């Protein structure tokens, strides 16, 4: 098994891939577009084995998630705030974030967001996901919006 940490910014996707034993298999950055993601999949496939990856929840993460899942990867969407809580670093960079996500994935510690997907069949079940554990103070029910 290979474990990939993916850190997405506006113009690039930093990638850090670890082997089962924790050694680094690949460190790279690619454009977050379909062509570059296909190239990334081919490069990682050269290492052999299935891939489990994690990407922090943010704009564009769903496209990367869906593209890599379509290529056969198992991609988790991580709760960015909870990742920062698990791995607070004074000198954070995109490369460090990718490495941290890869290690959390390898150790099965990714704080995954389990919201339903647009088709209604999310990892944790279908339906809207409450934003807070209790009702809001004004009594108006609120749910997380679904992204296409």
Q: Where are the domains of the chain?
A: 2-106
Model pTM score: 0.73
Contact yes or no for 92/122 (Cβ under 8 A): no
- Confidence (pLDDT) at 86: 63
Burial of 8-40, coded b for 16+ CB within 10 Å and e otherwise, reads beeeebbbbbbbeeeeebbebbbebeeebbeeb
From first CA to last CA, the distance across the chain in angstroms is 30
Quote the radius of gyration of the chain (alpha carbons, Å).
16
Pick the CATH number of 2-106 from 3.30.420.40, 3.40.50.300, 3.40.800.20, 3.30.830.10: 3.30.420.40
Tokens 């680094």 found at? 24
Residue pair 79/111 in contact (Cβ under 8 Å)? The answer is yes
- pLDDT bin (cut points 50, 70, 90) of residue 67 is very high
Average of per-residue pLDDT across 80-84: 72
The rounded distance, in Å, linking the Cα atoms of 97 and 85 is 13
- Count each helix (H run) and each strand (E run) in the chain, helices first: 4, 5
Mean pLDDT over residues 88-112, rounded? 82
Output the average pLDDT for the chain.
79
Cα 18 to its chain centre, rounded Å, is: 15
SS3 state at 7: strand
Cα separation of 5 and 75, whole Å? 10
What is the mean predicted confidence (pLDDT) over 74-83?
Answer: 84
Q: How confident is the model at residue 89 (pLDDT cuts 50, 70, 90)?
A: low
């Amino acid at each position: 098994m290979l474990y990939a940490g993916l850190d997405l910014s506006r113009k690039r996707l930093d990638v850090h891939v670890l082997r089962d034993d924790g050694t680094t298999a690949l460190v790279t950055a690619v454009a977050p577009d379909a062509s570059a993601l296909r190239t990334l999949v081919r490069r990682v496939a050269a290492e052999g084995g299935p891939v489990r990856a994690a990407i922090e929840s943010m704009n564009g993460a769903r496209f990367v998630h869906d593209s890599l899942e379509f290529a056969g990867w198992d991609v988790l969407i991580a709760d960015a705030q909870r990742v920062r809580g698990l791995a607070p670093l004074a000198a954070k960079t995109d490369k460090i974030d990718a490495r941290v996500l890869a290690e959390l994935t390898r150790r099965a510690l990714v704080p995954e967001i389990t919201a339903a997907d647009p088709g209604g069949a999310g990892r944790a079940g279908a339906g809207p996901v409450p934003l807070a554990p209790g009702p809001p103070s004004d009594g108006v029910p609120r749910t997380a919006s679904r992204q296409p």
